[in-house]
Amino acid sequence: MLRMATAWAVGGCLLSVGAGCSHLLEARSIAQFTEELGRGDLDGLKSSTSPEFERKALRRPDAIDDLKILKLPTEKPTVVQVEDRSETEKRVVVEVGESGRKLLYKLVRDEGSGRWVVDDIYVRQKQDGVIATRSVTQQMDLLLTAREFLHAWRQGSRNDVLGVATQEFGQALGELPPPYLESLTRRVAGESAERKSQPEATVDHDVAIVTIPRRAGKLVVTCRTEEGQWKVADVAVESRTPGERLPSARGQAAALVAAVRFLDAYAAGDKQALEPLCVPKLYRGSLRAAALREFPLPDSRAALPGHELRVIGGRAEFEVAGKTKILKIGLQRPALAEVSTADGAVGDSADQSEPYRVHAVTMYELDGSQERRLSAVFTAQPVMEIFAEAFANRDLGLLRQVSTADFRERLWDRIDAAVLEDSAFDVIANAEPRVLGQNFRGALTEITVTQGERPMTYVLQDVDGELCVDDVLVPAVGRPESLKRTMETLLPVRAYGEALSRGELEWLQRSSSDDFNRLVWGQVRQVPPAAFPAIELLRLPLARIEKKGEHELLIVLGNGRRGARVTLLEQHGRRLVDDIQLVSEDQAVGLKGRLRQELAARMLAESSPRTVPPVPIDGLSAGPVHQRPISIGGPDGGRDELAPKARPSEARRTAARAGKSRIDTLRTEDFPLDEVRPTADRRSARAGFLPSVSLDPELGDVPLH
């Protein structure tokens, strides 16, 4: 129909005629329609239009009001062109008003009376600079559908509500229990705005958007054509009141269905019905083996009076307010990336074709004392006991399994089973924990226990319905209570000692500060023996951890008579060893300074002048000139004639040769220590990390390349 109208608009083949006697019947039919429209006579319009026009454009008593929205002209029309399409159909172009506005009428012959009646009207419209030809019956059908939607959602029956919706939207609404459907439709439709505020429609092929004013906002109704008729596909509420906003009634209905079904299945103890309604982690980790009666929830009927639902994208929150508690059920749809990829990646947009599933259930006490999650109530203590047993057995694999990803990445994945024997782990006694109390704080659950003689707190976190241990808090003096933070700080120190024992120079370079590398590790090609005393001291028990500055930590091992004090600096996004003070018999020696002095001594020794082989003179063993004996006087007190006489010019040349010592050309390769070079790849990886200097002012004229 629209294509034919467009063809007319661009100049299709039409028969041009005047408004003569041969077309009086067509002109009379159009004139009668125009007169009835001007009077607002609905019955008169029905008598001058076809049954199809009446069904689409005049089916409601208030259709006249919507015809006025289209602003059809009511002036006397003049027929300018007529096209006989068939014996029962004509296309007639008319002009109205002084402006000569043109309209195209489609006339059909009435089967009963044989009269020509109006079947449709095509009007050129300009919006946002775009000119298009619109069908009046199509526009009227759309506006009347919006009227019928409002009537059905405000005061119509269940069948009326489902009748104006598309098949897909109607199916989502039909799954709701009647009380919940009525609650949803009343909330969406709201109260009418003043009658003078009329709907506005935008049509694009088979999709249309109708905006309907309402008090403190507006409704945005999305319509689609199904079997040639407009149906409501979704509704959004835009409001100046935040609590009344609703991005999608279709999404609201889908989330409501999931929440209602979950409550009823839970109340009935039907675990088979619960499984598809929950995310896998919540069901397998908490509900499958739980005694549901120990934590009762209201069924859907009891929840109806105080329920609220908020939907944001692929997430929703169903809330039920009671006298002393508030129940919140978190729902979510799978992300598109999660559905489409095999590696479990999660995308930002939800898959609208997938149903909502429950991922968290939380009970809030109104006094703020507790936030109990369903997963924590059923599984917190069993998970804590599994963790404690795994730690007692030094079962690293099980510890990783029952810990959060953060706990694994920062501690368990960085060690092997042997490290669990470190004395720093002795803060957790090998004993069965006795529960003193539990504190539920939403996603976090804290279980306070005594284990052995020591009190401690296990911190567990809910991850998509599955509870995992995230940390162990142990009261301590001089170091963090957090086992995770303590061990994360201590592990680099332990690893540093192991690297020293194995002579792993490249690892030491990567784990040391810029200054330590510049003065020591960047100057050698193997670990100097002078560093070996630090190995045993770095294995001593942890005494304390002190924060010395914004980017500096001090790790103290052992005690005041024997131990090590390790300084860690924050550089390049990591904590790096800057120095180690070796403590023995109340004396402390810095490892960096000690190694630097040894390097300087070796370099100076290598740079000293070479001796000249002695040359025999008159049977005497002559050494270097400055070593040969020189007599001040003979037996008679005179001068020793065998003593050579140095000429001034020769003395200057000798001094010049001595001044040009090997210190000017000394290289790191000349050290006896240097036997193994780092690989080419490792050396290139250090480029830009170790400063390249020619002279170190702290070592005088010793060149450090």
The Cα-based distances of 295 to 195, 373, 486, 517 in angstroms read 51, 10, 37, 60
Among 195-204, 358-367, 525-534, 552-561, the minimum mean pLDDT is found in 195-204
**Cβ atoms of residues 189 and 148 within 8 Å:** no
Give every strand in the sheet of 89-96, ordered side by side: 15-16, 77-86, 89-96, 101-109, 116-127, 130-135
Distance from C-alpha of 33 to C-alpha of 46, rounded to nearest angstrom: 9
The Cα-based distances of 199 to 50, 68, 221, 294 in angstroms read 26, 12, 10, 53
> Where is 152: in which H helix or E strand?
helix 136-155
Distance from C-alpha of 427 to C-alpha of 451, rounded to nearest angstrom: 10
The Cα-based distances of 349 to 196, 330, 334 in angstroms read 39, 17, 9
Q: Which amino acid is at 432?
A: E
Rounded to the nearest 5 degrees, what angle is found at the Cα of 293, between the Cα atoms of 289 and 295? 90
Mean pLDDT of 399-419: 93
Q: Does residue 409 or residue 696 have the better pLDDT?
A: 409
Distance from C-alpha of 67 to C-alpha of 54, rounded to nearest angstrom: 12
The pair of three-digit structure tokens given for residue 354, joined into one six-digit string: 């997938």
Q: In the predicted model, is pLDDT for residue 246 greater than 70?
A: yes
Identify the residue whose tokens are 């978190």: 330
User: How long a stretch of residues is the chain?
Assistant: 705
Residue 672's pLDDT is 34
What pLDDT digit, counting tens, does each position of 491-515 carry?
999 999 999 999 999 999 999 999 9
The pair of three-digit structure tokens given for residue 587, joined into one six-digit string: 């004396």
**Cβ atoms of residues 512 and 578 within 8 Å:** yes
Q: Decide the pairing of beta strands 325-332 and 77-86.
A: unpaired
The pair of three-digit structure tokens given for residue 410, joined into one six-digit string: 């920062």
**Cβ atoms of residues 361 and 445 within 8 Å:** no
Q: Does residue 67 or residue 586 have the better pLDDT?
A: 67
**Cβ atoms of residues 606 and 671 within 8 Å:** yes
The Cα-based distances of 262 to 99, 357, 434, 564, 574 in angstroms read 64, 9, 35, 59, 47
The pair of three-digit structure tokens given for residue 305, joined into one six-digit string: 């009076």
What pLDDT digit, counting tens, does each position of 322-334 carry?
888 999 999 998 8
Distance from C-alpha of 526 to C-alpha of 507, rounded to nearest angstrom: 12
Q: In the predicted model, is pLDDT for residue 128 greater than 50?
A: yes
Strand partners of residue 92: 82, 105
Residue 683 backbone dihedrals phi, psi, to 5 degrees: -65, -40
Residue 379: count of CB within 10 angstroms of its CB = 24
Residue 666's pLDDT is 30
Q: Output the CA torsion 158→163→167→170 (10° steps).
A: -20
Q: In the predicted model, is pLDDT for residue 553 greater than 80?
A: yes
State whether residue 652 is helix, strand or coil: helix
Radius of gyration of the chain (CA): 46
- Residue 416's contacts (CB-CB under 8 Å, 6 or more residues apart) are 396
Picking from 125, 93, 97, the residue whose alpha carbon sits closest to that of residue 106 is 93
What pLDDT digit, counting tens, does each position of 296-318 carry?
999 999 999 989 999 887 899 99
Q: How confident is the model at residue 628 (pLDDT cuts 50, 70, 90)?
A: very low
Average pLDDT, rounded, for the chain: 80
Q: How confident is the model at residue 613 (pLDDT cuts 50, 70, 90)?
A: low
Picking from 454, 619, 592, 629, the residue whose alpha carbon sits closest to that of residue 513 is 592
The pair of three-digit structure tokens given for residue 293, joined into one six-digit string: 């009666």
What pLDDT digit, counting tens, does each position of 99-113 carry?
888 899 999 999 888
> Looking at 306-397, which runs of residues are DSSP E strands?
307-312, 315-321, 325-332, 357-365, 371-373
Residue 391's pLDDT is 93
**Cβ atoms of residues 313 and 350 within 8 Å:** yes
**Cβ atoms of residues 360 and 373 within 8 Å:** yes
Alpha helices (runs of H) in 483-554, residue ranges in sequence order = 483-502, 505-510, 514-519, 534-537
The pair of three-digit structure tokens given for residue 229, joined into one six-digit string: 């008729």
Mean pLDDT of 466-479: 92
Mean pLDDT of 567-595: 92
Rounded to the nearest 5 degrees, what angle is found at the Cα of 569, between the Cα atoms of 567 and 573? 150
The pair of three-digit structure tokens given for residue 146, joined into one six-digit string: 């919006």
Mean pLDDT of 45-50: 92
Q: Which amino acid is at 253?
A: A
State whether residue 466 is helix, strand or coil: strand
Residue 656's pLDDT is 41
- Which pTM does this prediction carry? 0.63
Residue 114 gets the label, from left (phi > 0), alpha (psi -120 to 50) or beta, of: left
Picking from 266, 249, 383, 382, the residue whose alpha carbon sits closest to that of residue 320 is 266
What pLDDT digit, counting tens, does each position of 432-452 carry?
999 999 999 888 999 999 998
Mean pLDDT of 637-664: 38
Q: How confident is the model at residue 684 (pLDDT cuts 50, 70, 90)?
A: very low
Distance from C-alpha of 671 to C-alpha of 526, rounded to nearest angstrom: 11
Among 288-302, 322-336, 364-378, 634-648, the minimum mean pLDDT is found in 634-648
Q: How confident is the model at residue 164 (pLDDT cuts 50, 70, 90)?
A: very high
Q: How confident is the model at residue 602 (pLDDT cuts 50, 70, 90)?
A: confident
Residue 220: count of CB within 10 angstroms of its CB = 17
The pair of three-digit structure tokens given for residue 348, joined into one six-digit string: 């930002």
> Where is 258: in which H helix or E strand?
helix 249-268
Q: How confident is the model at residue 192 (pLDDT cuts 50, 70, 90)?
A: low
Signed CA dihedral, 223, 225, 228, 231: sign only: negative
Mean pLDDT of 133-145: 87
State whether residue 396 is helix, strand or coil: helix
